Amino acid sequence: MFVVDSWPASRDDAGARVTASSDPAVVADVLGSSYDIVVWGRQVPRDWTEHIVNDAPVDDGVAFSGSVDQAILFLRGKAKISQNRRFLSEDVEQTVSLVAALAVARKVRITLRPFRNSFSIPLSSAATLSVFCLYGDGNFRLANHADASPSDMVTLDAYALAFCWRAAQKFASATFSCMSSVCFGLCVEALPDAPALFGA
């Protein structure tokens, strides 16, 4: 398995420190402090894109914030995702569990949105760990300032999971682009627990 690392020319230069691999072991790098972004370039079944593009109608998507247990119950029971796209809710559920474990978080925010062309997702300043994924035929870009040129952006392939600690502090925008009739953009954010009102 190949691992690809990308670094700014010097510590003073702008730019993200990125590591990427198709080997699931790269996820362990999320726990270190060497990288701004860790990318797991997953291999998924070929029919995922076919089901996303061809199975009408377009789903409503998911917007949920709450405990990890509540999020999983919501994805299993109340999320409006068509039966032909159940793999989507199952993959999101596994991603939620992975984010919660890596960030040692009890609360998460999930945004799963169907879209055409492109859309930008707001980055939450409260999130400790954010994970992004584009489902379908397209790509995902993180830009570190509003007028970023393509060379200043981190661009990811479809179905890759991109893990980023404190994304809102490092990037100005997160944009999903679709090259087919429909795609889905996912952002799962680990949220800190609310502070206790009274000391123990």
Residue 196: its pLDDT value, please? 45
Residue 56: its pLDDT value, please? 61
Q: Domains of the chain (ranges plus CATH)?
A: 29-191 (2.60.120.770)
Residue 195: its pLDDT value, please? 54
Residue 57: its pLDDT value, please? 60
- Nearest CA to 112 out of 167, 155, 63, 45 is that of 63
| Averages of pLDDT over each 10 residues, the chain, 200 residues | 50 70 92 89 90 72 91 84 82 95 94 89 88 91 68 80 88 86 92 60
What is d(CA 17, CA 6) in angstroms, rounded to the nearest whole number? 6
Beta carbons within 10 angstroms of residue 124's beta carbon: 16
